[in-house]
Each structure stands twice: as structure tokens, then as C-alpha cells.
Amino acid sequence: NPEARFKQQAGEHAASLVQSGMVVGLGTGSTAIFATRKIAVRLQTGDLQGIVAIATSRATDDTARALGIPMLADDIPREIDITIDGADEVDPAMDLIKGGGGALLREKIVAEASRLEVIVVDEGKLSPRLGTHWPLPVEVLEFGWRSQVRFLESLGAAVTPRPGNGGLFRTDQGNLILDSRFGPINNPLELAGKLEARAGIIGHGLFIGIASDLVVAGNDGIRHLQR
């Protein structure tokens, strides 16, 4: 389908930005996986040498190891040169909603430790304002999670605890995700501040001022935009 083709084009274009010797952050989701696969191929053909990677989720770590990509220890002992990751929604300021895949906390940790954060999307992810199309994923400690539901509702969201096999979805950290539908968010920075001030909220999917590059693939080809 066209969307998968665009995801592949965006992911593989971003993989071409990786240079030998780099420390590479590997994103999570169906677009970033194309970058990970392309990096593995480049290593196999010798086009790319001497890289080491850090994954943004256990799932990505498993896939990368299976593809033979050398992996860095989880404490991120070296600066990350480039991270390639997806997004659920991108606004004109290149700010993002992420977390559709549930990896938002490790994704943000890796992103904030990266010199370049390259976001890869199909054109369907572009949005005039964050929240227009996607709920905002909020990662919360299980302890007191229903009080977080009430808190998010008090901020104007319709809140759905994300379901998982056999009950509620668990992140790699064992926390829960509250998908919070705010609708178009007028001031993402202000909302992010309110979320970060709340005890028990461990992470959220607003990535503001974090992406350095955006690779968008669509009907009119591939565009690489820089912040």
C-alpha cells in the first residue's frame, strides 16, 4: 500500500545519513524499522563500518540483534551521533506527538542524548496542530494511576487506559499508558509543563524542540527538512 511505500522511502533515506564509526539510536515503529533494516544491509555490504547502536525499545533491541547490528550498553556510555525514529503527528514547528508504539520514554531519553534526531514519516503524519489526529500518550506509574486519569480529565482530555494482551498495556518499564485525547492543543509547551510537574506521570508523547531533522515521503517524493 502507498503508505508502507512512503514509510520505506523515508526510513531508508534516513539510513543513508548514517556514517561509519557513528553511535546510532534506533527508533521504534513501522517506519523506523526500515531504517534499522537498511543499516543492517549497509553493514553486511561493508558500505557502513564500525557503528554501534542503542535501541529505543526492547522490541527494537531484539530486532537489531537479530539483524547483527552491534549494540551499545543500556547506560548509553557514549554520545549518540544520530537517532532515526518515527512519529504519530508532526506540526509545522517540527514538534511531535510520539508514543503510538508505547516506547515514548526510552525514545525521549535516546532522543535527548542524540546530536541529531531524525524523524521519519509518511506525509499522513503531518498536522496543522498537535492533537488534531492523535491522542497524547502519557506514561504513568501503576500506583495511583486512576488519580492520573482524573488529573488528565481536569486538563480537558478524554482518557483511555491503553489495553494490552490480558488487561492493560505495560511499557518496557512496566508502567501504564493513558491515551489522552485533548483535540488540537493550543500550547503544547504549557501542557508539557503541567504533565511534568505531576508526581506519577513518568513520561509523555509531546516532543517539543527535540527533532532536528524531518524526512517526509509522499506523493511528491521525499523531503528532508531541518529545524
Q: How far apart are CA 83 and CA 76, in angstroms?
A: 13
Tell the smallest beta-carbon distance from residue 10 to ligand DER (Å): 9
Q: Any contact of residue 101 with ligand DER (CB under 6 A)?
A: yes
Tell the smallest beta-carbon distance from residue 85 to ligand DER (Å): 5
Q: Any contact of residue 88 with ligand DER (CB under 6 A)?
A: yes
| Contact string 106-145 vs ligand DER (x = CB under 6 A) | -x--------------------------------------
Three-class SS state of 80: strand
Q: Any contact of residue 31 with ligand DER (CB under 6 A)?
A: yes
Shorter beta-carbon distance to ligand DER: residue 37 or 98: 98
Q: How far apart are CA 88 and CA 134, in angstroms?
A: 7
Q: How far apart are CA 116 and CA 80, in angstroms?
A: 8
Give, for 11, the enclosing helix (H) or strand (E): helix 2-15
Q: How far apart are CA 204 and CA 165, in angstroms?
A: 22
- Look up residue 71 and give its DSSP letter: B
* Active-site option among 12, 89, 107, 139: 107
Binding site for ligand DER (CB under 6 A): 27-32, 85-88, 98-101, 103-104, 107
